[in-house]
Amino acid sequence: MDSFAPIPNTASSRVFCYEPIASKVKRGERLSTEQAIRLLDCTDLDFLAGLADVTRRRINGDRVFYNQNFHIEPSNVCLHRCRFCSFRRNSVEEEGAWAWSIEEVCQYARQKYHPGISEVHVTGSVHPDRNLFFYADLIEALRVVLPAHVSIKAFSAVEIDYMCRSAGKSHIEGLELLREKGLNAIPGGGAEIFDAHLRSQICPDKTDAQTWLSIHDSAHQLGIASNATMLFGHLESPEQQVDHLERIRNQQDKSGGFIAFIPLKYKSARNELSHLGEADLLHTLRLFAVSRLFLDNIPHLKAYWPMLGKEATQMALLFGADDLDGTIRQSTKIYSMAGAEEQNPDMDKGVLRNLIRTAGYLPVERDSFYREL
């Protein structure tokens, strides 16, 4: 039988194919990769949502988290040529490019900060002329601008890889320096898809999977918490999706520092993979449910609303997600440049809370480490 042929949506097929998986989930046992691949094929979405909800309630009860945050994207001039990216530019002379100085970053942070903000997310590009020492100075300067209670979550593993190498420092030395200057956590970007063959097709010159995982390993050894992501809905197969999840689950078994996993849906406007179109809602929801069920050792599953849009985000809550990210305050362009419906993402705390309540969950404002505020 073709393992990806849709399985008919009947009670008897459910008992036959999925009941052993359901029993495992109810007993709190770990799913195998084969079971995860099989679930990605499940057309009984009601059943899948119910199953993901068992795991999400065991870990998070009926709470759904959000924070008050903004992003800083210091530059979009990037060395890497990822084919899915609509954000990058070759040089600062190109139309739509920017490269802020540290003073400009600080001015922006002063302008965006307001009481209530608990996190600033700093990420952008791998700027060819900026190394670790530039970013250490940037964090140091931001630390002066921001109140001490505001966490700085900064730099994907790919950015950290290049900034350390170009300064002649090891990843551990670089992370120690950034932490000393005020870095609190690391976002999950740059993971894309770990499979080497597919990675070479969609982001050929990017930090490889092993290095991405090893940088997060080093961060965890130093007590720096981080997130993990997966870019889905382009050329990857269900096996490659589950392989990606498995490598993250294995890493978490070793180092334990991932706090959230974020499936990022490929957005297709204005990049080299535009012809592929985008994953539909049902595939997206299946992937959220399977991520929740498979990653039994990562506490939070984030539905990043600027990428999904508000309605799909609410649906993702019914499929295992327990976090929406934050208020954003019109501070990120990565997804708007790739055609997201939210062109200037901005959500009031009250609207975020209503969105969560309407889906039947309890809104909880959190800090970067999921402590209730």
- The distance of closest approach from Cβ of residue 326 to ligand V47 in the complex, given in angstroms and rounded to an integer, is 9
Q: 362: which 2 tokens?
A: 């309890």
In angstroms, what is the minimal distance from the CB of 202 to ligand V47?
Answer: 10
Binding site for ligand V47 (CB under 6 A): 84-87, 156, 187-190, 192, 227, 229, 231, 262, 264, 266-267, 271, 304, 325, 334, 338
- Closer to ligand V47 by CB, 31 or 260: give it: 260
- Please tell me the number of Cα atoms within 13 Å of 126 on its side-chain side: 21
- For residue 7, the minimal CB distance to ligand V47 (Å) is 29
Least separation, in Å, of the C-beta of 261 and ligand V47?
9
- For helices 209-221 and 238-255, the axis angle rounded to 10 degrees is 30
CB of 185 to ligand V47, least distance (A): 8
**For ligand V47, the closer CB: 290 or 337:** 337
The nearer residue to ligand V47, 77 or 262, going by C-beta atoms, is 262
Nearest distance from C-beta of residue 360 to ligand V47, angstroms: 24
Q: Which is nearer to ligand V47, 42 or 233 (CB)?
A: 233
At 233 the three-state DSSP class reads coil
- Which residues are within 8 A (CB) of 271 and not within 5 positions of it... i.e. 6 or more apart? 83, 84, 85, 86, 338
d(CA 25, CA 368): 28
Residues shown for the chain: 373
- Full DSSP string of 298-322: --EEB--HHHH-HHHHHHHHTTT--
As a whole number of angstroms, the distance between CA 30 and CA 20 comes to 12
Cβ proximity to ligand V47: between 43 and 211 the closer is 211
Nearer to ligand V47, 164 or 193 (CB): 193
**Largest separation between any pair of C-alpha atoms in the chain:** 64
